[in-house]
Structure 1
């Protein structure tokens, strides 16, 4: 059962807004430094999920993992993230936001420390699962930014914090690769632990205390989590867009999780820094995808989805030429990132319109599909490369993309009806 709200849309539930006087800020506006700080903390938290991607070959050699097991390193992190979206994000509707955010950040720093000091594969997998579980603190901070900002400035604040997340994802691979070349793979996680610990202190000082309007006196934690499942069971659009997210991010993860293996071997034999730098190639696609928001505002959500999925499928043609040309890989990465971001923006725009008062639970549930797709792509990519090399990886990614395009074609009228409403 979903929480019902008698306040105007945006005053409770999805936005995580607070009652007057609960923000800890006299005029209802957050301190000037808070939103940029939350953006930095969000980007740093989410980046920890992606650090392993340019390091997969090195980690496989260090812990004696076969090529087919390399994807499991990414998979356990993404599975932890999926669990956190369902188990931890709803706590933002029940607990004091400052204690919740800083507590999760401190535990994330501890998990990163454990990963950096892991003596064996089992310890590494356990630490990375904990990293994924706790990295969902970024979603809690997005809700906090929305709750603390007046409606007239809320979009700008959420956009700034979300921009921090995108930037963190894009820079994670490059930063991890460069640091691994300079000081070894363990330094990546140890330095990250120190950064997160410093951010924990800064966020605790800057973030006002306060509990959202949907409190423990209105709904128990168990019922709040269960209401997320109920929402997806009731609304077909949520299920369709969730399935699209699963397939799209499976394709995304197939590329980014599998890229390290062909690039680290002949004929390229690239360093960690060079492999990580390919994450920057996707930045152009991510920046260009901001146009998808404007297209959605014009009522072009269905067309944006279709074009995005078609571009996603076509991106695998140049990606398939990776063994012959790094430029082809860069072009394919730009196209793929553009397509994924365009579909992702459209998905979130449409699903939020279903129940604005339950926006945080809907987004949390949607992101479970994202995490499951990322796990599927990572594991599938490593198995495909072990059995058939890069052509098999390309075929797998193209298959996920074509399946998403087929799903959209079969269900596009669902999105059209809700989008029009």
Structure 2
């Protein structure tokens, strides 16, 4: 691939000088990054409305099909731990493009799968390499103009959320048209196209400072986690939030396809659009973080997660309450997530990819745990047990918020005095 002329000039400037590189990161480029994040993240969610169809065609139990959701998240967590730290080590544009092309290979593998084993392989490949999204998000913060990193992260993360929600709906619709394998084939083509577009328009970017070996980069993840208590507390918040919502993600298709609602793949996918308002929450939370109100945004979001599970419990027999509950928990998840990222990216701007790797590994470890536990709860006690599990994890999340609040006040004692202003708490 040739280097576009406008990228060559940007490549000479280290990524630690965001003001110098900001002109190379225009709004259209940010929007393309948002599309790429949405496609990468969404590729791990195509299976959610298709679980019943997958189980029927591949002749496996519903619980086995639901484990594909867990497998995708475990693979994604592995990619976060092993591949995302490379963003602080390698040239990022080349890294992002390579990861996306490998993720496309995984999508094509799933798209031509004739067995559960081959689908599992494709799912692992896609999950492992679609972590390109988590190299793009801290890159947006790095290249943003001073004081606007929250807005940049919120915009890119809005694209990621819309991609997840669109993935559910598009997967359901395409499955109705040409079967569940068509979803993965179309997504593979789209992944290749977006990867090539990013290669052309993105500036080259490499972390400033002395080059580090891969082993040294991986070892530094533990050092960063030990050095920054709020990285640990925010990673815990993110992991518990996503664990709670993943209980829903891994079981919603089984409930909606069941006797109470009797929806097909397209209907289940359209129900998933209820959470599109979460994209609005991503922007709101990002702007609040820029104003120094990340703690407020987090507290509101944690409260919404608890309320959302109450509505989902009523959704056992009412589709309206289910849609309301899904909307609320999606809002909550994005509010916590965006607030978390705006807090942790301020801890060490020279190590954002590695900090993001620590945080996102916890985030998707929580997701995988929630998915696995959700499948068990469904088998054990149906939707009632599922809601009890999701709500219990949401309560633990509220306790994690209280711990993070204590750390924030310890770091900024003046914030305990309202007269000092809310901006002290980041």
Q: Using the alignment, how far apart are the partners of 2:348 and 2:147 within structure 1?
A: 20
Partner in structure 2 of residue 7 of structure 1: none
Structure 1 17/209 Cα, relative in aligned 2: closer, same or farther at 3 Å?
closer
Cα deviation 1:362-420 (Å, max 9, x = unaligned): 12211111101111111111221122111111111111111112333355311333364
Pairing partner for 2:15 from 8, 17, 38: 17
Gaps of 5+ in 1: 1-14
Is the CA contact (8 Å cut-off) linking 2:16 and 2:207 kept in structure 1?
Answer: yes
Distance in 1 between residues matched to 2:34 and 2:386, nearest whole Å: 34
| Structure 2: tracts of 5 or more residues without a match | 1-12, 416-423
Partner of 2:43: helix, strand, or coil? Answer: helix
2: CA distance, partners of 1:377 / 1:32: 36
Q: How does 1:133-148 map to 2 (within 5 A)?
A: 133-147=128-142
Q: Distance between the aligned counterparts of 1:255 and 1:148, measured in 2?
A: 35
2-side partners of 1:285 and 1:251: how far apart?
Answer: 16
SS across alignment from 1:405: helix
Report the Cα distance in structure 2 between the residues aligned to 1:32 and 1:134, rounded to whole angstroms. Answer: 26
Aligned residue in 2 for 1:96:
91
Runs ≥4 residues deviating over 6 A? none
1:352 counterpart (345, 351, 367): 345
2:399 alignment counterpart: 406
CA distance in 1, matches of 2:249, 2:30: 30
**Partner residue of 2:186 out of 182, 191, 212:** 191
With normalisation by structure 1, the TM-score equals: 0.87
* 8 Å Cα contact 2:41/2:130 also seen in 1: yes
Structure 2 length-normalised TM: 0.86
Q: 1:119 and 1:172, CA in 2 relative to 1: closer, same or farther beyond 3 A?
A: same
Q: Establish whether residue 83 from structure 1 lines up as the match of residue 78 from structure 2.
A: yes
1:253 aligned partner: 246
- After superposition, residues 75-224 of structure 1 pair within 5 angstroms as 75-147=70-142, 151=146, 156-214=151-209, 217-224=210-217
- CA deviation after TM superposition for structure 1 residue 305, in Å: 3.1
Q: How many residue pairs get matched?
A: 402
**Higher relative contact order structure (alpha carbons within 8 Å, sequence separation ≥ 6):** 1
User: Given that residues 88 and 354 in structure 2 are in contact (C-alpha distance below 8 angstroms), is that contact kept between their aligned partners in structure 1?
Assistant: no
Moved more, 320-329 or 62-71: 62-71
Separation (CA, whole Å) in 2 of partners of 1:157 and 1:295: 13
2:274 aligns to what? 281
Instruction: Indicate the residue corresponding to 2:420 in structure 1.
Output: none
The within-5 A match list for 1:309-324 is: 309-324=302-317
CA shift, 1:132, in A, is 0.7
| Closer, same or farther: CA 400–115 of 1 in aligned 2, 3 Å | same
What do the CA deviations read for 1:179-205 (whole angstroms, capped 9, x no partner)?
A: 111110000001101111122222222
Tell me which residue corresponds to 1:12. none
- TM-superposition CA deviations, 1:159-182 (whole Å, max 9, x none): 433322122112111111111111
Indicate whether 1:70 and 2:65 are aligned.
Answer: yes
Q: How far apart in 2 are the matches of 1:414 and 1:60?
A: 46
Which residue is 2:355 aligned to? Answer: 362
